[in-house]
């Protein structure tokens, strides 16, 4: 089964995404900040990452820039999910950008298109 | 380091990206923020009639109108205002560049934050003689560092961990270098010193073979080390590089490669005393294209 890493500092969003992905047959793991997320990506393989932008401490784009320095991780697709305006500009290589509140069907379709 | 921030805003979309960065800096460094909005250019000298920036209507500026504008600004930045510990909203009438510069002289902020030109949003209000050139005029004459956030991509700014200092070895660049070092020491971040060996072809320029270009780059790298490294006490994480190419493109590319959060440059460093209102082409292009905020030093 494919595994998705959810990076978001909001526990309610995390919970919502975990339920959404697990109900649709994906494994999940979650991180509340960049530090925790980097530990996770460096310790286990992921097929996709959903990434919030504004988080306490370092922001999502910083996580992305640190992650892609590792050549084994640089091709993991990233979906940006954020409430910030203009989030489509935050990570130019993200496969998709969704603005909170997002449509669960739209997110699921993006994830399924990438992973299946 | 940034105790007082002046954020000059039109409170329109053009300033949104700069607002995000300004409020985030204020949050990170507990800075007091002065939000400055220029109401418009008076219809004639000392007149209180101005063209409203948002509605584009001619309005009489009185206390009631000013209170309304301030309330509008508060509403516009409602999501961001809680990020700053203290702020003040100020409105002025006049040519934006003059009023911003006056405010800098009067209140001596540690940093001025500005967004892109409202001209780029198609606003006719600022078309005639102010906004397109406001940014350039302010940068050229500002007593404090000016932080510019032009592209939305430059506004996703959590903190400063990597600074790129782009130099052309001029005297103005030395001032910018001192500031870059001070900032790097203060916030304990990485400092990347960069120079682009210009090989862009203009009718007057010579064409060098690659061996000559590489020889020059080696010489510049040696000069770099001699000029800067001794002044970098306390900065452990740094890199020094010289690339060849069109300077502004190489600076933007280098900053992207280093995941820079900030580019520091001196404005118009070749002609520090020039009276033209236009910035040098390299700094202008870096401001327009960079994927992170650009800090311009003048004095």
Percent helix, strand and coil across chain B, each rounded to 5? 40, 20, 35
Q: Which of B152, B161, B259 sits opposite A86 (nearest CB)?
A: B152
Domain regions of chain A by residue span? 3-115
| Cβ separation A89–B16 shorter than 8 A | no
Q: What is the pLDDT of residue A29?
A: 97
The verdict on B7 touching A (C-beta cutoff 8 Å) is no
Which residues, 6 or more positions from B65, have their beta carbon under 8 angstroms from its beta carbon? B59
Q: What is the pLDDT of residue B125?
A: 45
- Whole-number mean pLDDT of chain A? 94
| Cβ separation B259–A62 shorter than 8 A | yes
CATH fold of the domain at A3-115: Rossmann fold (3.40.50)
| Cβ separation B156–A55 shorter than 8 A | no
Task: Report d(CA B254, CA B159) in Å as an integer.
Answer: 19
The verdict on B32 touching A (C-beta cutoff 8 Å) is no
How does pLDDT run along chain B (299 residues), one tens digit per residue?
899 999 999 898 889 999 999 999 999 899 999 999 998 877 666 667 887 766 677 888 889 989 999 999 999 999 999 989 999 999 998 888 999 999 999 999 999 999 877 655 555 444 433 335 788 889 888 999 999 998 888 888 888 889 999 998 888 899 999 999 999 999 889 999 999 988 876 666 677 788 988 999 999 999 988 889 989 988 989 999 999 999 999 999 999 889 899 999 998 655 555 556 677 788 888 998 999 999 998 76
Q: Which of A59, A86, A87 sits opposite B158 (nearest CB)?
A: A59
What DSSP line would sit under A56-111, residue for residue?
SSS-HHHHHHHHTTSTTTTTS-EEEEESSTTGGGT-TT-SEEEESS--HHHHHHHH
In tens, the pLDDT along A17-36 reads: 999 999 999 999 999 999 99
Specify the pTM: 0.87
Domains contained in chain B, CATH given: 4-154 (3.40.50.620), 159-297 (3.40.50.620)
In tens, the pLDDT along A39-75 reads: 999 999 999 999 999 998 889 999 998 999 899 999 9
Q: What is the pLDDT of residue B269?
A: 52
Chain B residues whose CB is inside 8 A of the A86 CB are 16-17, 152, 155
Helices B131-141 and B281-289, axial angle in degrees (round to 10)? 120
| Cβ separation A90–B153 shorter than 8 A | yes
| Cβ separation B158–A58 shorter than 8 A | yes
Lateral strand order in the sheet of B4-8: B86-93, B32-40, B4-8, B111-114, B146-148, B294-297, B262-266, B162-166, B190-198, B238-245
Q: What is the pLDDT of residue B119?
A: 57
The dihedral built from the CA positions of residue B63, B104, B34 and B146, taken in this order, carries a sign that is positive
């Amino acid at each position: 089964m494919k595994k998705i890493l959810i990076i978001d500092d909001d526990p309610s969003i995390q919970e919502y995404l975990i339920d959404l992905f697990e109900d649709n047959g994906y494994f999940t793991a979650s991180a509340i900040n960049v530090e925790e997320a980097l530990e996770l990506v460096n310790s286990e393989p992921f097929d996709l990452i959903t990434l919030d932008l504004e988080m306490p401490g370092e922001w999502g784009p910083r996580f992305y820039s640190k992650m892609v320095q590792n050549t084994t991780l640089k091709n993991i697709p990233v979906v940006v999910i954020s409430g910030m305006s203009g989030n489509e500009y935050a990570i130019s290589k993200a496969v998709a950008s969704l603005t909170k509140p997002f449509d669960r069907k739209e997110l699921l379709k993006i994830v399924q298109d990438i992973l299946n | 380091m940034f105790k007082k921030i002046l954020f000059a805003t039109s409170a329109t979309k053009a300033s949104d990206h700069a607002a995000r960065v300004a409020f985030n800096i204020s949050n990170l460094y507990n800075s007091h923020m002065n939000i400055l909005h220029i109401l418009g250019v008076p219809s004639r000298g000392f007149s209180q009639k101005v063209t409203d920036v948002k509605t584009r209507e001619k309005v009489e500026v009185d206390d009631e109108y000013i209170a309304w504008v301030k309330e509008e600004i508060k509403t516009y930045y409602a999501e961001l205002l809680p990020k700053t510990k203290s702020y003040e909203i100020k409105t002025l009438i006049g040519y934006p560049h003059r009023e911003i510069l006056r405010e800098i002289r009067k209140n001596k902020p540690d940093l001025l934050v500005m967004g892109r030109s409202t001209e780029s949003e198609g606003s006719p209000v600022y078309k005639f003689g102010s906004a397109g050139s406001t940014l350039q005029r302010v940068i050229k004459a500002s007593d404090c560092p000016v932080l510019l956030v032009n592209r939305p991509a430059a506004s996703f700014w959590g903190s400063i961990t990597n600074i790129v200092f782009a130099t052309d070895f001029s005297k103005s660049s030395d001032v910018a270098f001192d500031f870059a070092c001070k900032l790097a020491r203060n916030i304990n971040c990485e400092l990347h010193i960069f120079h682009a060996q210009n090989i862009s072809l203009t009718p007057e320029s010579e064409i060098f073979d690659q061996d000559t270009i590489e020889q020059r780059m080696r010489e510049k790298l040696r000069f770099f080390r001699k000029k800067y490294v001794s002044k970098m006490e306390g900065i452990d994480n740094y890199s020094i590089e010289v690339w060849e190419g069109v300077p502004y493109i190489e600076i933007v590319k280098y900053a992207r490669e280093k995941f820079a959060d900030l580019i520091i440059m001196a404005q118009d460093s070749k002609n520090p005393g020039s009276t033209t209102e236009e910035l040098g082409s390299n700094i202008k292009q870096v401001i327009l294209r960079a994927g992170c905020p650009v800090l311009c030093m003048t004095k």
